[in-house]
A and B are shown apart, each in its own frame.
Chain A
Amino acid sequence: MGDVKLAFIVQKPQYKGETSRLAITHAISYQTVEILLADGDTVTPTLCFVGEGVLGLQNGQKAMDLYGITSTETHVKNSLLVDLDVLVCKEDLAKYGIPEDAMPDAEDMGADKKIKIAPFSEIQKAIDEAKHILFF
């Protein structure tokens, strides 16, 4: 069957509910899915943040200090570390007044991958190319 592309679309703010975070951790699990697949089969997720989903992604989070839980920032950095494509909607960042340079990167963890601030048209393209779309 080969590669199956998935689009994970996060529309809810981080920390408001659990599912926006679960979108990230489910996408990251593509790293180990091959143990359950036939040789040559792969899953390639693209993690997209749109609408209110762009809220709560900024760097400098202290969720571990204040609540004892892993921050969304750390989860996003882990996504980059495992080479996930992470797209954040450019128009929605602008809508909420969030500067693009507030998005975290994982250079300190040794990741080459970076968040891509993408116009919605590019996120639409990822949706079009995916076999399945999962809304969170």
Chain B
Amino acid sequence: MGILTIGCFPGLVGNMSYDFALKLADAAVSKGHKVNIWFSGNATSSVKAHQKHLKDYSTGEKHLAALIEKGVEICTCEACTVARGVQKTESIEKIQWNAMHWYLAKIHASDRVLQIGGE
């Protein structure tokens, strides 16, 4: 099985690219692939815990928790995240916080990389 690393930059609400990234990750890990997800830019605000799932809006929290349970490594860019006012203590459990070199290190070991750009 392969290693897939997804760089996810779009915001949780406002387009469907974020939803696509998570669904793709779920499909890949369910097939037995190792999956890493890197959040940068507006995607980083999605790591905040206690999201209320309103039916008119995409939600990240329950999907992220499920992916982590399946072994997906998820890391948020610390600088991008704190710039949006989200502190580590408010984060969804088991999401890693690191700098951009985390993404490059995961890419180094990856068979495939999917960079999903933001707005």
Which A residues are closer than 8 A to B by beta carbons? 1, 4, 6, 12, 17-19, 22, 25-26, 28-30, 32-33, 35-37, 41, 43, 45, 132-136
Contacts and interface: CB of A to CB of B under 8 A. Distances in A.
14 contacts: A1-B108, A17-B119, A18-B118, A19-B119, A26-B40, A32-B99, A33-B108, A36-B105, A37-B105, A132-B110, A134-B113, A134-B115, A135-B117, A136-B115
Looking at chain A's contact residues, the main secondary structure is mixed
B7 interface: yes
Interface residues of B, number: 22
B9 A29 contact: no
B18 interface: no
Contact of B118 (A17, A30, A35, A43): A17
Interface in B57-110: 80, 99-105, 107-110
A27 to B, nearest CB: 9
